[in-house]
A = this chain, B = another copy of it.
């Protein structure tokens, strides 16, 4: 068996070549991976269904999302402006003379990607982390997730085939499949590793962060870990639309058996007839839901433990526990027990009942960092709750008005990230084109002869990319 040290050395050697590939070559590579996955669609969805219990429609959708991501990064790389080129030209007349300086992003080096259990395609072997790292010019070592090993092998097969087809260094991507946690730790602490991506539990993510920080040369870890995604039910909206709102929320809470990072695990409203009506309607909708088996036994066990422990609390009333669980608690009690603020991964949501606007604000301010915060609100509600909106901005990476948090659009303006513990670093996103920024650092080239500069920085702008020249934006 190849040791971790061998794997990382191979990744380092492949990086020395792969980082020099041009935009066209890298884009073609990403598109070839996408075609390889497409060619395996039937085999993949069959195997993955066996491994994860996820239904075919969902798996087909997720596979399309994954190939779409690969193609999006291919387009991003081909267009080229993502390198954030900035140029300041020399001025010999100035005292002291001003040098010619030109900056662009370059890839960090070998990246370790941990596959996630809840998105066996989109956040796993050839998911967004891998696609963005390869797009940036980094080599990738993938730590397969134990819950879908055969899926991971088949996806990796498509990647290895693409490496060959495109004539790239054979260790541009590598796959670590041995069981246990030790391999993961070894990968993170290896001297040649330059960055790490992880999506999973808070305990797993913080362990990786610790390993990375304790290295003689700390490296960044992008861990997406824990979020309860508060939904604020404002009074005007509840009055206007309680039934429709309940329907929407029931759909979002139970989507994919609640196994999404953006699952709305917390709803906050002000006590009264409207909130009662919403609660009643929500319980009814939840009752209609047909449950599916969860991703794997460990997740089911954890869900059971959490929901039993919540249900056992005296302060809590269970509104629905037929197939998914809706619990409700008074804001005062919520504020006194930190357990209510912890993620329950699965089809669960807690409705917090506040006395008034002030208490609603207190509940919101008691929360740690979140991936999302949602305001269900009329225009008048929004005008009357400016401080609550501020709290949402301070707390979350994405703030939503009148849409559910589940469903993360893959695009340039997406932020799938947020203050700790939602992620380890709120300055970056793991979904959308900006995800590529996690794997690069800027380098300034000073006083270089034009022909020795990377094309992105050459005087004539042969790539035609957007850049600043003496602080003016231009693509010529």
Contact = CB atoms under 8 A, between A and B. Distances in A.
Interface of A: 16, 79, 81, 86-88, 96, 98-99, 101-103, 106, 108-109, 209-210, 213, 217-218, 220, 368-369, 379, 382, 389-390, 393-394, 396-403, 407, 409, 411-415, 417, 419-421, 424-427, 429, 434, 440-449, 452, 466, 468, 471, 473, 475
A128 to B, nearest CB: 15
Nearest to A392: B443
B407 A447 contact: no
A473 B466 contact: yes
A443 B398 contact: yes
A412 B98 CA distance: 13
Pick from A109, A379, A389, A401 the residue with the most CB of B within 10 Å: A401
Contact of A446 (B103, B401, B426, B452): B401
Pick from A81, A390, A402, A444 the residue with the most CB of B within 10 Å: A444
Contact of A401 (B397, B448, B466): B448
A267 B452 CA distance: 22
A385 to B, nearest CB: 11
A169 to B, nearest CB: 15
A98 B408 CA distance: 10
Nearest to A212: B213
Given A86-B412, A101-B398, A434-B442, 11 more contacts: A81-B473, A99-B403, A218-B420, A220-B427, A397-B442, A397-B444, A399-B443, A414-B444, A417-B442, A427-B442, A473-B473
A397 B446 contact: no
Contacts of A448: 399, 401
Give the number of times this chain occurs in the complex, counting copies: 2
A471 B412 contact: yes
B396 A443 contact: yes
Contacts of A442: 397, 415, 417, 427, 429, 434
A22 to B, nearest CB: 16
A242 to B, nearest CB: 20
Pick from A210, A413, A420, A424 the residue with the most CB of B within 10 Å: A413
Contacts of A103: 412-415, 434
A412 B468 contact: yes
Nearest to A440: B427
A447 B393 contact: no
Contacts of A108: 426
B96 A407 contact: yes
A427 B402 CA distance: 36
